[in-house]
Amino acid sequence: MIEPFGNQYIVARPVYSTNAFEENHKKRDRHHKTFLDHLRVCFSCSPQKAKRSVLSLFPIASWLPAYRLKEWLLSDIVSGISTGIVSVLQGLAFALLVTIPPGYGLYAAFFSTIIYLFFGTSKHISAGPFPILSMMVGAATVRLAQNFPGNTGSSNNSTSNSSSLDDYKVTVAASVTVLSGVIQVLHSVFSQIEKTNIADLVTALIVLLVVSIFKEINQRFKDKLPVPIPIEFIVTVIATGVSYGFDFQTRFNVSVVGKMNPGFEPPTAPNVMVFQETIGDCFAIAMVGFAVAFSVASVYSLKHDYPLDGNQELIALGLGNIVCGAFRGFAGSTALSRSAVQESTGGKTQIAGLISAIIVLIVILAIGFLLEPLQRSVLAALALGNLKGMLMQFAEICRLWRKDKYDCLIWVTTCVFTIVLGLGLGLAASVAFQLLTIVFRTQFPKCSTLANIGRSNIYKNKKDYYDMYELKGVKIFRCPSPIYFANIGFFRQKLIDAVGFSPLRILRKRNKALRKIRKLQKQGLLQVTPKGFICTVDTIKDSDEELDNNQIQVLDEPIDTTDLPFQIDWNDQLPLNIEVPKISLHSLILDFSAVSFLDVSSMRGLKSILQEFIRIKVDVYIVGVDDDFIEKLNRYEFFDGEVKTSILFLTIHDAVLHISMKKDYSTSKFKPSQEKDEKIDFTINTNGGLRNREYQVPGETKF
């Protein structure tokens, strides 16, 4: 058997080929599920499965009955009002990108939010118009509208050509892009400079400058401001009042929002002929919209520790776009700016989204006419201001090149493709290029939990063999593929499944419990004696209060008990009704012998995972990595005072013996003072087990 003795060991075992190894060790006859087995499970029915299916399709039925009215309603109302104001302005602004009357943007903002309320699984994202998708829809609308009969004066409709053209543009709201080269774009821009309306230009520049300054203020002082400054709303009110008071439309011939009819227009059926011309672009819009929405939702679900169903997100977005199209809106996704407003103002659930939709509804039904004098250039400036974060990514090219040339090449290629080929074809070509790079760099991950076989230094999947041995409190997790942006979430979930708990959740539970214990100790309700705790109260109220972002970040910090006059055993009974999940795991070994690379995003994710385990007193070891891999970790500044280079070991067996010595050092058969001068080792019996070699002091003879 394996028994640590000192810091050295000698292994003598047969040299195994695969066939010879399987002859000596009987392999399990494992039953792998067939396609028919999966079908039986899929089509089986039970009351529990039916209930799960309904709750999965309508997530609102799960969280609405558990809604904490007194604790959350006020925060959701404040958040909903703030997000609703932003949704109104962005709906109007992004409608200009679609080249349709601004009022139709309100329909897109309203129906997307309402549909997501019932079908979405994220608590913090705000569905509605998104600038990239609006540009794609607008390009399609412009292209198809050129062939509209109203442009030739042969329209048979009773309404004016302008009104018919607007209706046709709204009906066409689908995904397509116009091929254009860099030279043509620049020529088109410069040829229109002489036609620029000076009043619109000056107004747009002033609005853009003011919005940019206040957005920077909101970003820098977000921890001190109770809510972000609603600069878009303030600028819109001022600009509307100035335009109306000085009659900019008549005096300077500026373009304004114009007539906004109150109420909704009746739903219309889509034009099937348009489907035939835009089928390829519909896939582009669907994929881009889902990718944006799911990435934003994933950020918030990880930050606030709640589950996210990707399939349900796709259903929610799809149904939202279907309803928007029926009511003459246009395709939308999730805008990070609106979602950030909803989260930063304290929104807890999609009730905030409902309040936001009500704000949009009020504008549609009652007060939309107040926005009629607003200059369209103001809306354009607001839309451009929301793209600031996207445009600032150009500054990241050099840093990205130093850290990962593959990611930098993908970024630059995507930018070039979208400029030269247009949004639709450019994004498709970029995705194809990225998939091509993944083919060369990755494979499908098939993670497994390893265990010792034959009491030797060989470790195999513990599901495959009978004579397996696992050291108590130790998990060995193997990832046989590269780890990159697309599978870091998969890696994290598989690791959590293997150890049986989420380290982040355990960390937050322990920090919450520590806050309660510290509070009891400061109030004198908890006293420490040589025999244990003495509590002067029978119970403590557990409010389970909802925490803000700063408090959540505090709960994610390492556990610090240095200010307490006692140590806390988290696996023991805690005072009163304070409950923390108990874990038996004390060491985790990650076998990265098959991990060939990590990209920038996965490097951050991996470090976060390691920190979570370390902060709950689970020692983490990485084994099997080569020198190039370690060099890359150092280049990314992966190691620090918390994640140290001492976690790296050559092999799994080295790490296992190190853990055994560290956890059971008192059972060693030598005195600590002899460790430097004496050598202890092991040898293998003929039956494959380990036995202790007799220790002999140098210079002495054993009789």
Task: Please give the pLDDT value at position 333.
Answer: 58
Between 474 and 573, name the one with better pLDDT: 474
List, for residues 591-605, the tens digit of each pLDDT value: 999 888 888 888 989
End-to-end CA distance of the chain: 27
**Using 50, 70 and 90 to split pLDDT, how confident is the model at 22?**
confident
Check pLDDT > 90 for residue 257.
Answer: no
State residue 607's pLDDT score.
93
- Say which residues have a Cβ less than 8 Å from residue 265's Cβ, sequence separation at least 6: 327, 328
Q: Do 244 and 374 contact (CB within 8 A), yes or no?
A: no
pLDDT of residue 537: 67
CA distance 100 to 368: 16
d(CA 41, CA 63): 27
pLDDT at 536 exceeding the cut of 80: no
Query: Which of 615, 386, 668, 384 is closest to 505 using CA atoms?
Result: 615
Burial of 550 (0-12, 13-18, 19+ CB in 10 A): exposed
d(CA 654, CA 657): 5
How far is it, in rounded angstroms, from Cα 392 to Cα 116? 30
Quick: pLDDT tens for 506-520.
Answer: 999 998 888 888 888
Quickly list DSSP for 517-556. HHHHHHTT-EEEETTEEEESSS------PPP-HHHHHHHT
Q: What is the mean pLDDT of residues 482-489?
A: 84
**CB pairs under 8 A, 24+ apart, for 691-698?**
692/3, 692/5, 695/669, 695/670
528: CB partners within 8 A, 6+ apart: 534, 565, 566
Task: pLDDT band for 673, please (50, 70, 90 cuts).
Answer: very low
Average pLDDT over residues 131-145: 77
Structure tokens belonging to residue 2: 């394996």
DSSP character at residue 226? S
> Residue 660: its pLDDT value, please?
87
Average pLDDT, the chain: 76
What is residue 554's predicted lDDT score, i.e. its pLDDT? Answer: 73
In this predicted structure, what is the pLDDT of residue 675?
39
Note the pLDDT of residue 426.
Answer: 79
Whole-number pLDDT of residue 371: 83
Could you tell me which CATH class the domain 448-501+583-668 is placed in? alpha beta
Q: Where are the domains of the chain?
A: 69-144+196-386, 393-443, 448-501+583-668
* Greater model confidence, 218 or 190: 218
| Arithmetic mean of pLDDT, 40-67 | 82
Instruction: Give the residue-averaged pLDDT of 2-22.
Output: 64
For residue 453, list its beta bridge partners. 458, 468
H or E element at residue 87? helix 69-97
